[in-house]
């Protein structure tokens, strides 16, 4: 049974990815490593040498515990994750978005990207290849609703954002953050195009790499 290390910088990311493994690959053994000071420290600083070393320390610990693959669940640390991937090139080391971006690019067309965190919409479109067109929409207020315990409002706002994208001609909806995965069923109930999540795509890619 492969062991997957899930390394989190936000507590909100833990449940969605564990639920995705339960749906798509329940046989995998999971270990969750949460350091929620990473995000607050990044907000006050930068991806400096000390931050890179922290990522190496977390990854080395996961490998020492027998991990066969590593999935990072926060996209704000891309260069640190790239360095870990280079250091542990013999195993899959994934950024949170890369599997969904690849899956969306394979489908092609006009991709609608929904986020509840505005900076994501400034940075993530550049991760898509130039062969696809990306339109973006903010689910304004959704993250605040989730933090206040109103999951239903969070999901409804995400679905409304997806609807707006479909009205502008998008043929696929991509939910940009792990925390948005919980809204996938609500979104699918409101749009007639495929809906991708970062968590489901990441699990499917890891499973294919480790069981092929």
pLDDT digits (tens, 9 = 90+) for 59-117: 999 999 999 999 999 877 888 999 999 999 999 999 999 999 999 999 989 999 999 98
Q: Closest Cα to residue 182, out of 164, 209, 159, 155? A: 155
pTM of the model: 0.84
| Contact residues for 101 (Cβ-Cβ < 8 A; gap 6+) | 127, 128, 174
Residue with tokens 């948005």: 180
Q: How confident is the model at residue 181 (pLDDT cuts 50, 70, 90)?
A: very high
CA distances from 18 to 10, 33, 53, 117, 191 (A): 14, 12, 26, 21, 26
Residue with tokens 């995705």: 20
**pLDDT at residue number 45:** 79
Domains of the chain: which residue ranges?
Answer: 3-96, 98-198
Q: Which CATH number applies to 3-96?
A: 3.40.50.1860
Q: How far is CA 139 from the centre of its chain?
A: 16
Helix or strand holding residue 31 (H, E): strand 29-34
Q: Is the pLDDT of residue 212 over 80?
A: no
CA distance 167 to 119: 23
Sheet holding 110-115, edge to edge: 133-138, 110-115, 172-175, 195-197
Q: Which comes out higher in pLDDT, residue 45 or 178?
A: 178
131-161 tens-digit pLDDT: 999 999 999 999 899 989 999 999 999 999 9
CA distances from 187 to 157, 192, 194 (A): 9, 9, 10
Q: Is the pLDDT of residue 1 over 90?
A: no
Architecture in CATH of 98-198? 3-Layer(aba) Sandwich (3.40)
**pLDDT at residue number 134:** 96
The answer to whether domain 3-96 and domain 98-198 are alike in fold is yes
**pLDDT at residue number 30:** 98
- For a pLDDT cut of 90, what percent of the chain falls above it? 78
**pLDDT at residue number 40:** 81
Q: Is the pLDDT of residue 207 over 90?
A: yes
**pLDDT at residue number 132:** 93
Q: Which comes out higher in pLDDT, residue 78 or 129?
A: 129
CA distance 157 to 148: 14
């Amino acid at each position: 049974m492969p062991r997957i290390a899930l390394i989190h910088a936000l507590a909100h990311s833990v449940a969605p990815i564990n639920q995705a493994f339960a749906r798509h690959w329940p046989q995998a053994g999971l270990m969750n490593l949460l350091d929620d000071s990473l995000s607050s420290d990044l907000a006050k600083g930068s991806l400096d040498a000390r931050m890179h070393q922290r990522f190496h320390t977390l990854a080395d610990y996961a490998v020492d515990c027998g991990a066969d693959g590593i999935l990072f669940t926060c996209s704000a640390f891309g260069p640190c994750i790239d360095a870990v991937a280079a250091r542990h090139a013999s195993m899959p080391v994934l950024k949170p978005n890369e599997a969904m971006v690849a899956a969306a690019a394979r489908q092609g067309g006009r991709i609608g990207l929904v986020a509840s965190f505005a900076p994501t919409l400034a940075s993530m479109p550049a991760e898509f290849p130039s062969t696809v067109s990306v339109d973006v929409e903010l689910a304004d207020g959704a993250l605040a609703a989730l933090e206040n315990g109103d999951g239903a409002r969070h999901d409804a706002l995400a679905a409304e954002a997806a609807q707006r994208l479909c009205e502008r001609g998008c043929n696929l909806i991509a939910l940009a953050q792990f925390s948005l995965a919980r809204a996938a069923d609500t979104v699918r109930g409101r749009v007639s195009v495929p809906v991708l999540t970062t968590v489901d795509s990441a699990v499917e890619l890891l499973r294919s790499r480790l069981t092929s």
